[in-house]
Amino acid sequence: MTGKAKPKKHTAKEIAAKIDAATTNRGGGKAGLADRSGIEKGGHAKYECPHCKVTAPDVKSMQIHHEARHPKIPFEEDKVVNLHASLVTESSKTRPGVRGSHKK
């Protein structure tokens, strides 16, 4: 007899999903730091709504957001905040060690 409708083996779809999840960069951690900051490819959160601070990848998406969420306020493209233009690159200073001391 079989056990209560439990499949005996993994399906091909389930195995493919596990492989995809294990090998695809989802943008988190150190691997996605450059993508999030916008240094290499421009990142995903390029523009920020001046009213509610929601981010969008381009001006057209920000305009759609603005018309849906802020219909009483007219959309002005020059007021949309470009996060990558205001991005400050890290300085070349050395950072302190674990307990705040400079290890040499």
With tokens 């490819």, the residue in question is 41
What average pLDDT values come out for the chain (104 residues) when binned by 10 residues?
Answer: 67 89 77 65 74 88 94 93 67 56 55
Check: CB of residue 38 under 8 Å from CB of residue 86.
no
* AA letter at 51: H
Does any domain span residue 67? yes
Phi-psi region of 47 (alpha: psi -120 to 50; beta: other; left: phi over 0): beta
Does any domain span residue 102? no
> What is the rounded CA–CA span in Å between residue 62 and residue 80?
8
pTM of the model: 0.47
Does any domain span residue 10? no
Q: Name the domain count of the chain.
A: 1
Domain that holds residue 78: 38-87
Does any domain span residue 51? yes
Does any domain span residue 42? yes
Does any domain span residue 104? no
